[in-house]
Amino acid sequence: MFCFQCQEAAKNEGCTVKGVCGKDEEVAKLQDALVYLLKGTGFWAKKARQYGVTDEEVDLFILEGLFATVTNVNFDAERFVEYCNKAADLKSKIRDKFLNAYKQKEDSDFSEEIPREAAWEPAKTKEDYLAKAEEDGVLAEENEDIRSLKELLIYGLKGIAAYADHAYVLNEKSDNIFSFAETALAETTRENITSEELISLVMQAGDTAVKAMEILDKANTGRYGKQEITSVNTSLKEGPGILVSGHDLLDLEELLKQTEGTGINIYTHGEMLPANAYPELKKFDHLVGNFGTAWYNQRSEFEEFNGPILFTTNCIVPPKDSYKDRIYTTGLVGWPGCKHIPNAKTGEQKDFSSLIEHAKQLGSLQPQENKELTIGFAKDQVMELADKVIDAVKSGAIKRFVVMGGCDGRHKSREYYTEVAKDLPEDTVILTAGCAKYRYNMLDLGDIGGIPRILDAGQCNDSYSLAYIALQLKDAFGLDDINDLPISYDIAWYEQKAVCVLLALLALGVKGIRLGPTVPAFLSPNVVNVLVENFGIKPIEDPETDIEAMMAGK
């Protein structure tokens, strides 16, 4: 196998025998085969669009297929065989629609050369998919820079797909996103594509990432209201409980409805924490708080939580036998041997009854001493404080904002982010989103004139809020350039949604981002140079050096 899509790629080069995440060779190859089929599907879907033909089943499956291959989402080989089969069927479906439309319009059969991804007719067996991945995996592209740019594009697209899929289940969609995903996939099949063309596509991916986060924000706030400043309980209470992880607010909402009046308490974990700040979710009294921290701590935290655990999206890590029977997956998540709750029919809710029965059987959790965490500083809430924030900047009470959003992860080097948070001068405010916050959100950093020194906007997709706040401040201060604001970016990345967020920030014109804890293994030295020269991206150094530089606006 070969995979280098996340920050924890072995030796910061690539996983070759087994993934650090737990992905085995078979699943890695099936994921490669799926992406290969999606590229072929994208080729035909792009052609069809040129003839006015679209197919929403195809558009949606492209998002779902890409999302399923994000790090830590799905480890179940059988599910990937099913996804590959579906991709092959939909590829044929959209191809046939295009061929018909072409013939009708051109009065002849389509006879142009087609790329191998579009031409492949799999035998629809696991063996065939594995053989294809062996012959045509990531390393099949020999030019290191082209490979690097293609993968940067595909990984950004995986993040876009995840956010667009979350929006879709909440009835928000964008044809521009479908169309861009198909174009980008199709373009990666071109043998003669140049670096310049790929860089242009990567920039367009950044614009599309902004759009994806924007529609997801609209979907979330439209259905659940604007996040409110909320003090969240972070300890266990008497009574049975279910822990909900991942990012899918609709799954959480349906589970809350189905557990109302049962005596079962619902807790969030990891990236589900911000759910506690949405009025239409916090109105459920039995949403009692958040338990645990970032995704990689689940192997110890889930042992402590004696109830069922529902994974709605990433990040699942290899479960221990001590709690494996309490793990339930849903949506695109999968782990072999763990119970999976299937999608509902259109217009119906998912059936969580097995999970609910399991919680009742397991009985009460072990109560703990209460601790609180303050969240809910997404764009609308911060804008309500805008006057206060602007005054504090003008008076010099706030010298600088430091955006420390992104992901948390296993590496010890991520202690850097705790140290930076602790050592930043007291006239700084940290803006955060994503699971990166768990490195410092329990620190008591106080406030500046009532403005907390850590403002948590929510999930990683709520980085949109952080960009929005920056753009509003730019206008409020009458500046021409977002980079003239007293804001530094010290971003932590782990998986492909963070790649999407990074591309979004670049598309918004943000320069001088620090990216850590390591520079992505999939970026070739030449591609790193392009990012350094055009956007001033830099690696992190030590906390002291970086704090000094950031305070000097560098």
* Interacting residues with ligand SF4 (CB under 6 A): 3-6, 8-9, 15, 19-21, 23, 71
Which two structure tokens, joined as six digits, stand for 318? 């290899």
Taking the complex as a whole, the smallest distance from the CB of residue 407 to ligand FSO amounts, in Å, to 3
| Residue 10 DSSP symbol | G
Q: Closer to ligand FSO by CB, 95 or 166: give it.
A: 166
Quick one: what does residue 215 bind among ligand FSO, ligand SF4, none, with the CB cut-off 5 to 8 Å set by partner type?
Answer: none
The three-state (H, E, C) secondary structure of 305-335, written as one string: CCCCEEECCCCCCCCCHHHHCCEEEECCCEC
102 forms part of the interface with ligand FSO (CB under 6 A) = no
6 binds, among ligand SF4, ligand FSO, none (CB under 5 to 8 A by kind): ligand SF4
Alpha carbon distance, N-terminus to C-terminus of the chain? 40
Among residues 239, 198, 207, 543, the alpha carbon closest in space to that of 404 is found at 543
Nearer to ligand SF4 by Cβ, of 161 and 547: the residue is 161
If the CB atoms of residues 41 and 268 are measured against ligand FSO, the closer one turns out to be 268
Residue (10 or 385) nearer to ligand SF4, CB: 10
CA 553 to chain centre: 29
Kindly give, in sequence order, each residue whose CB lies less than 8 Å from that of residue 395, ignoring residues fewer than 6 positions away.
none
CB of 87 to ligand FSO, least distance (A): 24
Task: Name 489's bridge partners.
Answer: 403
Out of 216, 460, 503, 527, the only residue in the binding site for ligand FSO (CB under 6 A) is: 460
Q: Taking CB under 6 A as the criterion, which residues in 360-419 touch ligand FSO?
A: 407
**Four-residue CA torsion sign, 199, 499, 523, 142:** negative
Rounded to whole angstroms, how far apart are CA atoms 255 and 241?
A: 12
Q: What does the per-residue mask of binding to ligand FSO show for 408-437, with x meaning CB under 6 A?
A: --------------------------xx--
Q: Where are the alpha helices (DSSP H) in 107-143?
A: 116-119, 126-135
Closest by Cα among 433, 262, 440 to 357: 262
**Partner from ligand FSO, ligand SF4, none binding residue 164, C-beta < 5-8 Å depending on class:** none
Q: Are 536 and 513 within 8 A, CB to CB?
A: yes
Closer residue to ligand SF4 in complex, CB, 19/137: 19
Q: Which is nearer to ligand SF4, 17 or 552 (CB)?
A: 17
Q: Which two tokens stand for residue 348?
A: 């119906």
Beta carbons within 8 Å of 262's beta carbon, 6+ residues apart: 356, 360
Restricted to residues 244-303, the positions that interact with ligand FSO (CB under 6 A) are 270-271, 295
Binding partner selected for residue 19 from ligand SF4, ligand FSO, none, CB under the kind-specific 5 to 8 Å limit: ligand SF4
Q: Which option in ligand FSO, ligand SF4, none does residue 216 bind, with CB closer than 5 to 8 A by kind?
A: none
- Chain-centroid distance of CA 73 in Å reads 10
| Entry field: residues in the chain | 554
Specify whether the CB–CB gap between 288 and 312 falls below 8 A: no
Residue 130: CB minimum distance to ligand SF4, A: 16
The span from the CA of 278 to the CA of 228, in Å, is 6
Asked whether position 67 contacts ligand FSO by CB under 6 A, the answer is no
- The binder of 382, among ligand FSO, ligand SF4, none, by C-beta within 5 to 8 A per type, is none
Alpha-carbon Rg for the chain in angstroms: 23
Tell me the CA distances in angstroms from 325 to 59, 330, 338, one per residue in order. 35, 15, 7
Report d(CA 19, CA 23) in Å as an integer: 5
State which residue, 460 or 530, has the beta carbon closest to ligand FSO. Answer: 460
Please identify, using beta-carbon distances, which residue of 193 and 508 lies nearer to ligand FSO. 508
Taking CB under 6 A as the criterion, the residue among 265, 268, 298, 314 binding ligand FSO is 314
| Residues in contact with ligand FSO, shown as a per-residue x/- string from 434 to 453 under the rule CB under 6 A | xx------------------
Which class for 418: exposed (0-12), middle (13-18), buried (19 or more C-beta within 10 A)? Answer: middle
As measured in angstroms, the least distance from the Cβ of 252 to ligand FSO is: 15
User: How far is it, in rounded angstroms, from Cα 503 to Cα 510?
Assistant: 10
Pick from ligand SF4, ligand FSO, none: which does 498 bind, CB < 5 to 8 A by kind?
Answer: ligand FSO
State which of positions 492-521 bind ligand FSO (CB under 6 A).
Answer: 494-495, 497-498
* 4 binding partner (options ligand SF4, ligand FSO, none; Cβ < 5 to 8 Å by kind): ligand SF4
485 binds ligand FSO (CB under 6 A): no
* Residues that bind ligand FSO in the complex, under the rule CB under 6 A: 270-271, 295, 314-315, 407, 434-435, 459-460, 494-495, 497-498
